[in-house]
Amino acid sequence: MNSTLPPARDLPPGRQAEIRAEVERAVTARRAVRQAPLITAAVAAVAVVAAVVFLAPWQRNNTVAPAQSTTTTAPTISTVPTTTKPVIRGLSPQRVVEIEEGCPTVAGVSKQATLYQYIEDEAGKFGLLYTDDTVLGCTIDGPAMPYNSGFGSGLPLDWLPGHFSVDDNSSVAGGDSPGNKDVYRGRPGLRSVSGRISSNVARVTYTHDGRTVEATIANGTYVARIAHPTTWTIPDHDAAGVVRVYDTVNREIGSSDDLYDRCFVTRDKQIVYGARTGVDPATCLPANPWR
């Protein structure tokens, strides 16, 4: 199947609200991975030719090929979030407020969003934001618009499926890929994954395309990004990559490969991740509180 979207164009009036309604229906239905672009690509397609977004591992059936080689960079680590507002180093309070207003607005998300991470790398500027039930992966100061954000809603953000979650997992074609607008020329292709972690996690890695990179950890969240050449296109039948988490003695305590077809329950045996219909909670794994 060819997953390439048509060339980017401006959204007509009222279409963003229609897209949000379609997306929420898709999330509720928990469709298969090739349906995943509905979660965020419908909004993000304004800025790129092709964008693929994967459902979280517990929402899909997909085989991930092992990596062939690795490259690493040093991680950044800070503390797990509390009820206080996350600290975003390098940004003024006013700039944080602008991002917290701009990203959800362009995504059509009406709830108050909080910025948990801000990244500047070779692929550009990126913000990871959460409301009480929604994750937003937001491109900031892009070539065509100040904010371009996808989102995934209906998440039980007070809980983690084990020690970590995969809340946003996406791939974006390079700006010099066929059919793109001139304004996006020179932009690298990108794979990006982000989510939340428990207090036991000290290190997170992301493996894809034969490469492994260290995630940046801050405020109880992680973000990992792999840049590709500007001519890179998203492969047909693309896979989601593998996220692994490690404790303070560098022992692996979780992998996204281990989350397929699993369900997770709270201490009172309420299922918060995975299938909820016809599932015996006694067969599920324990969920951990995030905050």
Mean pLDDT of the chain: 78
Three-class SS string for the chain?
CCCCCCCCCCCCCCHHHHHHHHHHHHHHHCCCHHHCHHHHHHHHCCCCCCEEECCCHHHCCCCCCCCCCCCCCCCCCCCCCCCCCCCCCCCCHHHHHHHHHHHHHHHCCCCCCEEEEEEEECCEEEEEEECCCEEEEEEECCCCCCEEEEEEECCCCCEECCCECCCEEEEECCCCCCCCCHHHCCCCEEEEEEEEECCCCCEEEEEECCEEEECEEECCEEEEEEEECCCCCCCCCCCCCEEEEECCCCCEEEEHHHHCCCCEECCCCCEEECCCCCCCHHHCEECEECC
By percentage, how much of the chain surpasses pLDDT 70?
71
Q: Which residue has the higher pLDDT, 190 or 261?
A: 190
pLDDT(94) > 60: yes
pLDDT(285) > 70: yes
Q: How many residues does the chain have?
A: 291
pLDDT(40) > 50: no
Q: What is the pTM of this model?
A: 0.74
Q: What's residue 79's pLDDT?
A: 36
Q: What's residue 46's pLDDT?
A: 39
Tokens linked to 243? 């996220």
The mean pLDDT of 221-249, rounded to a whole number, is 93
The mean pLDDT of 267-286, rounded to a whole number, is 90
Q: How far apart are CA 257 and CA 96, in angstroms?
A: 34
Tokens linked to 113? 């969003």
Q: What's residue 196's pLDDT?
A: 97
pLDDT(245) > 70: yes
pLDDT(203) > 60: yes
Task: Assign 50 a pLDDT band (cuts: 50, 70, 90).
Answer: low
Q: What's residue 272's pLDDT?
A: 92
Q: What's residue 277's pLDDT?
A: 81
Domain boundaries, the chain: 15-259
pLDDT(21) > 80: no
pLDDT(124) > 90: yes
CA–CA distance from 125 to each of 149, 213, 260 (Å)?
Answer: 12, 18, 31
pLDDT(32) > 90: no
The mean pLDDT of 226-231, rounded to a whole number, is 95
pLDDT(78) > 90: no
The mean pLDDT of 12-27, rounded to a whole number, is 46
- The total of other beta-carbon atoms located within 10 Å of residue 279's CB is 13
